[in-house]
Structure 1
């Protein structure tokens, strides 16, 4: 009845394609929900409401003279609920955790595969943090590795094997990609399972299949209290009771007012 917001659809598609992790999906959904607000504030909700709203309260029978609401008989799904369920399910199946030692070995291999280049350095402290000064026609060392500036001035720099800035960036990209490939394809991403389950329940909630028409008073009693209204006299009494304490009529004998 109410379409799933495009932001939710995108997150679900990326999760199923294993393009994002469960935690990334959770963050994206959090941002989207803050921007969109609760479902009953959406424009699509207002349009769908007109199609399912009845002409009378299904509890007390109040009609056009009452303020009528579309009342869900199920609660708005909470992500925290599905997180706990996914965690307990994973623990019950005894799934092995991610092998981080294997990931570290892959990281070491990426670093070892990169060949250092010959670079200029300070002849005194071997630091790469050196600067050429045109006016003085000399180099100066800006290293502060010992707590004080080296400040050694020289005309001919020494040479040492070291990675360039581009090589370091390349290594970081490869390491990050290796980590993501491992995390995205693991079978124990409980957060991924939780987010997919939550999105599925949101579809059910937005279908408006589990709804009924209630007046303002009955909706308040159902949402905020453990009472129900008597359908004969309107008196509110606990749901556990079968007889109205005001008019003494049992639930089975009550007729809708009007």
Structure 2
């Protein structure tokens, strides 16, 4: 497991092109030991002792103190996703046009077309299908009755899309991915194709940017930059329940999104909050009794 200074050294080597990306990744991840965390290392413990204060910065207690991080590193895959999205946006902005024949070939290769049924008279979508009446279908737009729906071909949809990508008939998610089985409309398909093109074009740059962000995030975490000294109780409430001590009464814990705890709210707001909590508890009890919990 790399130490704080080793992370900085690795980042600098990568920035200065003194090490390849693949070697940098291997050096970073091959040193990880299963079950071992950064706070188990001697480097962490030595630097922690220089930074930790003598009392909890939240409640003032001096029992079982710890350094509480207010932010944590993201996964490398999350950075890869974010950086790829940014590159895709730039690529699409500079290459907005996509060859129609390439687009069609991509669709036919990667998607199954499940056309939306249309009224043969007015071409409105999804006519009402009846089980006991004949003719079987009723168009809710023009009230025409018929037995067989009509469909637009892939070519017709693509042509319409290239003429007006906001047209109603191209909004339907009638293309099912052969790989992932999820549904897309033509605009979705175009985005993911262009995103893949951007990724293929800038794959090495994307991976390097993402890995540098990952390294910087870990360096920030190991530097104790975004930390406070907290007692075990305050740290647990923050980590497990996203709660902190109420700054007004200094007694009750509250969700970090609220300014005070319920007890410190004005009377009318406190009653409303308690009423909501009671209602929620009653609903949970009822669900439990009905077996739908």
What TM-score do the two structures reach when normalised by structure 1? 0.50
Whether the 8 Å contact between 1:15 and 1:192 is mirrored in structure 2 is: no
CA drift at 1:80: 2.1
Aligned pairs for 1:93-172 (under 5 A) are 93-94=90-91
Look up the match of 1:70. Answer: 67
CA drift at 1:47: 0.8
CA drift at 1:28: 3.5
Equivalent-residue separation in structure 2 for 1:73 and 1:7 (angstroms): 20
CA drift at 1:13: 1.4
User: Which is richer in helix?
Assistant: 2
**In structure 1, which of residues 74, 77, 81 is the aligned counterpart of residue 78 of structure 2?**
81
1:164-206 per-position Cα deviation (integer Å, ceiling 9, x unaligned): xxxxxxxxxxxxxxxxxxxxxx854111111122112222222
Which secondary structure does the structure 2 equivalent of 1:202 belong to? helix
Which secondary structure does the structure 2 equivalent of 1:70 belong to? strand
Residue 215 of structure 2 is aligned to residue 218 of structure 1: no
Which secondary structure does the structure 2 equivalent of 1:32 belong to? coil
Residue 48 of structure 2 is aligned to residue 32 of structure 1: no
Whether the 8 Å contact between 1:72 and 1:211 is mirrored in structure 2 is: yes
**In structure 1, which of residues 215, 232, 235 is the aligned counterpart of residue 252 of structure 2?**
235
Look up the match of 1:244. Answer: 261
Structure 1: gaps spanning 5 or more residues? 97-185, 251-258
Which secondary structure does the structure 2 equivalent of 1:33 belong to? coil
Structure 2: gaps spanning 5 or more residues? 95-200, 267-293
Aligned pairs for 1:174-193 (under 5 A) are 188-189=203-204, 190-193=206-209
Whether the 8 Å contact between 1:39 and 1:45 is mirrored in structure 2 is: yes
Name which structure has the greater RCO, CA cutoff 8 Å, separation 6+: 1
Runs of at least 4 residues of structure 1 off by over 4 A? none
Task: Please tell me the root mean square deviation across aligned C-alpha atoms, in Å.
Answer: 3.3
> Compared with structure 1, are the counterparts of its residues 51 and 249 closer, same or farther at alpha carbon in structure 2 (3 Å cutoff)?
farther
Which secondary structure does the structure 1 equivalent of 2:20 belong to? coil
> Compared with structure 1, are the counterparts of its residues 34 and 11 closer, same or farther at alpha carbon in structure 2 (3 Å cutoff)?
farther
Stretch deviating more after TM superposition (236-245 or 6-15): 6-15
CA drift at 1:54: 0.9
Which of structures 1 and 2 has the bigger CA Rg? 1
Equivalent-residue separation in structure 1 for 2:12 and 2:32 (angstroms): 14
What TM-score do the two structures reach when normalised by structure 2? 0.45
